[in-house]
């Protein structure tokens, strides 16, 4: 995914000093605690159990991950992200929260190579990821993922829904956020995402 490097701010590698200052918490859209808790509560309302294995695609620096790691049985949280510095920040967040004994698995990957996960998962989530990916990368993610979810497995993902057919080249207002058909942040029609 070398084209990701110049596409969005999440690719930028943070320095150790920035991680120490907590820049990673702001870099992922702020509202660290509120959004993390919202993700956690949503997944629990959809039936996530402590015994489930959760694959968090685009896990970032653990805004939601800390809640999931705390809730899930040891070894059942798997986070995958393109940005190694965010994973470094994630490891720091996990240690600071005293959750290292829960043995979360963090994987750096830029090609949605879920073979690195090493097992099938009950549930996968891609929160605030597809809004920053063009359609071909979303398709790559989905095609790669289908072999790594259990037969009854489910993926939950967020995206900006475009008005109309979603193929408008001009900037559209999707719930107050300027999104685009051909630039980050992206919007997609419901029919495309289905």
Q: Using one digit for the tens of pLDDT, what is the confidence trace for 14-50?
A: 666 776 776 655 766 667 688 889 999 999 999 999 9
Q: Is the pLDDT of residue 3 over 50?
A: no
Q: Residue 139's pLDDT is what? A: 93
Determine, yes or no, domain membership for 40: yes
Determine, yes or no, domain membership for 144: no
Determine, yes or no, domain membership for 141: no
Determine, yes or no, domain membership for 28: yes
Q: What is the 3-state secondary structure (H, E, C) of the chain?
A: CHHHCCCCHHHCCCCHHHHHHCHHHHHCCCCHHHHHHHHHHHHHHCCCCCCCCEEEECCCCCCCHHHHHHHCCCCCEEEEECCHHHHHHHHHHHHHCCCHHHCCEEEECCCCCHHHHCCCEEEEEECCCHHHCCHHHHHHHHHHHCCCEEEEEEEEECCEECCCCCCCCCCEEECCEEEECCCCCEEECHHHHC
Give the tens place of pLDDT for each residue, 137-161.
999 999 999 999 999 999 999 887 8
Determine, yes or no, domain membership for 42: yes
Determine, yes or no, domain membership for 150: no
Report yes or no: 54 and 121 within 8 Å, Cβ to Cβ.
yes
Mean pLDDT of 94-119: 95
User: What domain range includes position 6?
Assistant: 2-51+59-120
Determine, yes or no, domain membership for 176: no
Return the structure tokens found at 150.
Answer: 């259990």
Closest alpha carbon to 176 in 189, 164, 187 = 187
Report which of residues 185 and 116 the model is more confident about: 116
Least confident of 39-53, 110-124, 153-167: 153-167
Q: What percent of the chain shows pLDDT beyond 90?
A: 52
Q: Is the pLDDT of residue 166 over 60?
A: no
Closest alpha carbon to 121 in 53, 189, 171, 187 = 53
Q: Residue 30's pLDDT is what? A: 64
Number of structural domains the chain divides into: 1
- At 66, is the pLDDT very low, low, confident or very high (cuts 50, 70, 90)? very high
Mean pLDDT of the chain: 83
Q: Residue 1's pLDDT is what? A: 39
Determine, yes or no, domain membership for 181: no
Report yes or no: 51 and 71 within 8 Å, Cβ to Cβ.
no
């Amino acid at each position: 995914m070398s084209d990701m490097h110049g596409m969005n701010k999440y690719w930028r590698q943070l320095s150790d000093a920035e991680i120490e200052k907590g820049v990673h918490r702001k870099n992922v859209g702020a509202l660290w605690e509120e959004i993390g808790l919202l993700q956690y509560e949503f997944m629990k309302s959809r039936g996530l159990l402590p015994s489930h294995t959760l694959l968090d695609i685009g896990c970032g620096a653990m805004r939601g991950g800390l809640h999931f790691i705390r809730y899930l049985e040891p070894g059942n949280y798997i986070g995958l992200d393109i940005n190694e510095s965010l994973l470094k920040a994630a490891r720091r967040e996990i240690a600071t929260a005293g959750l290292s004994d829960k043995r979360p698995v963090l994987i750096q990957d830029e090609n949605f190579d879920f073979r690195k996960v090493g097992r099938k998962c009950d549930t996968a989530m891609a929160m605030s990821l597809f809004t920053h990916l063009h359609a071909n990368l979303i398709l790559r993610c989905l095609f790669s993922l289908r072999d790594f979810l259990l037969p009854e497995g489910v993926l939950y993902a967020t995206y900006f829904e475009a008005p109309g057919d979603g193929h408008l080249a001009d900037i559209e207002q999707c719930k107050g956020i300027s999104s685009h058909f051909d630039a980050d942040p992206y919007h997609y029609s419901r029919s495309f995402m289905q």
